[in-house]
Amino acid sequence: MKLSVLFERIFARRWIAGPRLNDALDTVRRLNSHGISAQINYLGEAFKEKNRVKESVDMYLRIINEIKNNGLKADVALKLSEIGLGIGVGFARENYSKIVNAASSRGVFIWIDMEEHELVDNTLSIHRSFIKKGNVGLCIQAYLKRSQVDLQKIVRLGGVIRLVKGAYTESTEISYREPLRTYNYLKLMGYLFAHSKKFMIATHDTNMIKAALSSNKKYKRKVTYAMLLGVRNKYAIELAKTERVSIYVPFGERWTKYAFRRLREASNLKLIITSLIKEPASKI
């Protein structure tokens, strides 16, 4: 058996709904039955070819229709490098505009994922011009030293944030390592509680979630707790009994980069084995 096939069988299936849109929609239905909403992502990134970009844009328009037509509780999550940022900022903006407008007319919310630091300025710039639409949100990575300033600017403009620790490999010049990464997460979370009415706490870290639950007793914000499919499914189901919870549901054939990022996070063997046995995507 080829190594890539073995890797897919063992790992990728835990973190990815499946190769087809229907696999994602089935996963979302199961999540919804537990009172959990979803963020549907069509896997793919760093596209340089216009035909690939077009295929992704068309898929997002389809996803938006499926969410609306099936009455699903789900948002969309996309990467700008998947819809043309690697070809040109104007091109990505045009494609994003098509998706946001279609989503707006169908009452669907769009999240932009945050990628490598080289893309941050253009990502912020594109997101900024759509904030007023009201149906868009942006991921901010606590490990980037610049994120405090970026986050504050977006919040002041009335933007909605999904706060994560950060998943790419960045240099220490521009990013924090542990424990500073987690410390900065808490600091940015504190700012969100104080200044933002609605945001997403995206983490599997029990300590971060407990801290957020505790802060919200005072602030009473509209907080959604977000996790990735297949990492802490059981905990998400438990949390959803009392809190708003959303699971990031990726699907598609281009799963390698996404799965490797997850593998790096679950960096010790015990964690990987626990995740494989206890948290398969199919168990949700």
Ligand X SMILES: Cc1cc2nc3c(=O)[nH]c(=O)nc-3n(C[C@H](O)[C@H](O)[C@H](O)COP(=O)(O)OP(=O)(O)OC[C@H]3O[C@@H](n4cnc5c(N)ncnc54)[C@H](O)[C@@H]3O)c2cc1C
Q: How far is the CB of 193 from ligand X (least distance, A)?
A: 17
Sign of CA dihedral 34, 262, 39, 194: positive
Of 8 and 265, CB closest to ligand X: 265
Q: How far is the CB of 113 from ligand X (least distance, A)?
A: 3
Of 10 and 105, CB closest to ligand X: 10
Of 105 and 207, CB closest to ligand X: 207
Of 42 and 69, CB closest to ligand X: 42
Of 127 and 165, CB closest to ligand X: 165
Q: How far is the CB of 105 from ligand X (least distance, A)?
A: 25
Of 141 and 184, CB closest to ligand X: 141
Q: What is the distance between the alpha carbons of residues 57 and 219, in angstroms, rounded to a whole number?
A: 38
Of 50 and 210, CB closest to ligand X: 210
Where along the sequence are the contacts to ligand X (CB under 6 A)?
Answer: 113-114, 139, 141, 164-168, 202-205, 226-228, 231, 248, 262, 265-266, 271, 275
Q: What is the 3-state secondary structure (H, E, C) of the chain?
A: CCHHHHHHHHHHHHHCCCCCHHHHHHHHHHHHHCCCEEEEEECCCCCCCHHHHHHHHHHHHHHHHHHHHCCCCEEEEECHHHCCCCCCHHHHHHHHHHHHHHHHHCCCCEEECCCCHHHHHHHHHHHHCCHHHCCEEEEEECCECCHHHHHHHHHHCCCEEEEECCCCCCCCCCECCCCHHHHHHHHHHHHHHHHCCEEEEECCCHHHHHHHHHHHHHHCCEEEEEEECCCCHHHHHHHCCCCEEEEEEEECCCCHHHHHHHHHHCCCHHHHHHHHHHCCHHHC
CB 201 within 8 A of CB 188: no
